[in-house]
Chain A
Amino acid sequence: MKTLKIEELSKNFGSTEVLRKINLEIDEGNFLVLLGPSGCGKSTLLNIIAGLETINEGNVHIDDYNVSKVEPKDRNIAMVFQSYALYPSMNVRENMIFGLKQAKVSKEKIEEQLEKVSKFLQVDALLERKPSQLSGGQRQRVAIGRALVREPRIFLFDEPLSNLDAKLRVEMRREIKKLHQQLKTTVVYVTHDQTEAMSLGTNIAIMNHGVIQQNDTPENIYNKPSNTFVADFIGSPSMNLIKGNLKESSNKVSFVTRGSNIEIPINGYDFKEKSNLDSREVFFGIRPEHIFFKKSNEEDFEINLRADLSEYIGHEQIMTFNFENQEVLAKFPSTVKIDLSKNTKLFFDLTQISLFDAKTEERI
């Protein structure tokens, strides 16, 4: 039984297609992050799961029960919003029990729940305050508390941390992670912040233009991006995508760029399909953090590139190199001294590369 199952879901606003044939499944207790740039449809998808938006095609199942036409309050979900959406005229207590009161839960049960949750989230001292008298972090806690008291099957989070300042955001992120570890409730979490997505999710679904590009574990998203969009979206700076061709001779594959004699051997790469490789146009993908200034293992590919630009950011520096007139970025500790406009010896970690077809932009 899947806690949440979405089948062939499509949604348009007028003539604009927002979601296209979305399929998604979450197992009990998992933490799914919907990640994507703004306007990719991730918030719409969350609203549809909540029942706040109607569906044009497809179905939403919660615990194998088709809820596509069920009211939000009857879906056994709770949602935390970006603006917290605390009711301004009610104090914290009233905010937290509003839902239970609507559901006609008995007074004793309401008090019991309120006490349990407010202690758990350490807001029990704030119960009589109005939302306007709370700090950003406290508001967020109360908003989470309002969701918790309902004991939902699924928690929905809509960019809950993006209104907080950088420091508080990291703190609250850890608290949400702890919360999930303790409660083990299924979560769907929308964000555009890849660090949040990576650190929180047991699964990440990356979306663009209303389509799920890849739905996978954070490790696979990072190490084996399924297309150039995912490769480019995840990582900071993003993955270097060097355009060139594959060359296959006597069962040995290598990567070459036009008009150069550099030939990078592709030996250990796990091709999806090992056919038609010769002279295929591809992107050679390597992350900046997988380029080293000294040899890290035997397989490393040694290459001399000219350093063009250096960006110092404290604990590390981002160097831009010239690879046959294509920019290649590398991340080094800031203690390493590299001269600009000179050739530098670099090492590509070939166990960490990705290859994408230049036309379809899919991983090969």
Chain B
Amino acid sequence: MQDKIHSSYKQLEQKSKYTNMFLRWFLYFVLVVFAFYFIFPLYVMVVTSLKTMEEIRQGTLLTWPSGLNFDSWLVAWGGRGYGAGDTFLKPYFWNSIKMVVPAVFFSTFIGAMAGYVLTKWRFKGDKWVFLFLLFGCFIPYQAILLPMARTLGVLGISNSVIGLVLVHTVYGIPFTTLFFRNFYVSIPSELVKAARIDGAGFFKIFFKILLPVSTPIIVVTIIWQFTQIWNDFLFGSTFSFGEAAPIQVALNNMVLSSTSVKEYNVDMASAIIAGIPTLIVYVLAGKYFIRGLTSGAVKG
């Protein structure tokens, strides 16, 4: 009797072992398929950007390039050197940098301040203020294009990098405030009380006590804002043209305006160049991103 039960357990054990193995291999299979699915377009982009036009015409999408040929990258970045009609990314890249750095800085700073006030210096109606700020996260940007264009016109900063900085700062504040508020909620208010008894004022408490512990959420906010602003096309194409355009708009113009032959290799190189800064930000700060997103949940 005992033996019988024992052996049937053995059988069950064996069976579940096979089931587990099958499921595991199935899981790997699915993961590999998805990995290919995601990496494939990037592969095509990189490979195409390294080919000459000749190679592109003769081979297929997947053909390996004959060598490391960075000509199309140089053309995408610096142009061919002839005058009119030669669009290349370099000046617009700097436009984007000039736009994204101040816009990220101001929106993050203002969001941090707002989050600080909404959690540590509560006032009557603060919940309503926060609620209205949240609306800013949900407004479709198409809806505010016209009023914003008018505002920029009145301020005399339409079609300028400064104008774009303003727009991106304003529309970043709802998100940055939300991030910082949720982070500061988890920081004990007793810290603020202790600092007040110690004689620190509003700004001193913010800069000396709260800001030094805010690194994770600052990183999250910077990544978020940088990605949003760098990749923005709508505001860029609406509120700027010609020389003031940011890189995404220039990329679009470049790809669409080529008159004669479609230069796929240059297009691909341009697209990659336009995407590199966000990649760098993710690589440098990615580990903080995950930490920051979950930091509100568990009190350290």
Contact = CB atoms under 8 A, between A and B. Distances in A.
A218 to B, nearest CB: 28
Interface residues of B, number: 17
Given A87-B209, A89-B212, A50 B199 contact: no
B198 A85 contact: no
A81 B193 contact: yes
A72 B194 CA distance: 10
Contacts of A79: 193-194, 197
A113 B212 CA distance: 26
Contact of B190 (A71, A72, A83, A99): A83
A85 B199 contact: no
Given A82-B190, A83-B188, A72 B197 contact: yes
B200 A102 contact: yes
Given A81-B190, A81-B193, A85-B191, A98 B213 contact: no
Interface string A50-84: 11100000000000000000011100011101110
Interface in B195-223: 195-200, 204, 208-209, 212-213
Contacts of B209: 87, 89
Given A82-B190, A83-B188, A83-B190, A88 B213 contact: yes
A79 B195 CA distance: 10
A206 B190 CA distance: 24
A77 B199 contact: no
Nearest to B196: A72
A83 to B, nearest CB: 5
Given A83-B188, A85-B188, A88-B213, A102 B193 contact: no
Contacts of A71: 196
Contacts of B300: 132
A99 B198 contact: yes
Given A89-B209, A89-B212, A78 B199 contact: no
A168 interface: no
Interface string A228-265: 00000000000000000000000000000000000000
Contacts of A86: 194
A47 B190 CA distance: 11
A50 B196 CA distance: 10
Given A83-B188, A87-B209, A88-B213, A102 B194 contact: no
A99 B193 contact: no
A130 to B, nearest CB: 11
Given A73-B199, A102-B200, A85 B213 contact: no
A50 B193 CA distance: 9
Contact of B195 (A82, A83, A87): A87
B212 A50 contact: no
A103 interface: yes
A231 B151 CA distance: 70
A230 to B, nearest CB: 29
A73 to B, nearest CB: 4
B187 to A, nearest CB: 9
A88 B208 CA distance: 10
Looking at B193, B194, B204, B213, the one whose CB has the most chain A CB atoms below 10 A away is B194
B199 A81 contact: no
Interface in B203-254: 204, 208-209, 212-213
Looking at A78, A99, A103, the one whose CB has the most chain B CB atoms below 10 A away is A99
Contacts of B193: 47, 50, 52, 72, 79, 81, 85
A77 B213 contact: no
Nearest to A50: B197
Contact of A102 (B188, B190, B198, B213): B198
Nearest to B211: A89
Interface in B249-300: 300
B197 to A, nearest CB: 5
Contacts of B194: 79, 81, 85-87, 146
Contacts of A81: 190, 193-194
Interface of A: 47, 50-52, 71-73, 77-79, 81-83, 85-89, 98-99, 102-103, 132, 146, 158
Q: Which 4 A-B pairs have the closest CB atoms?
A: A89-B212, A102-B199, A99-B198, A73-B199
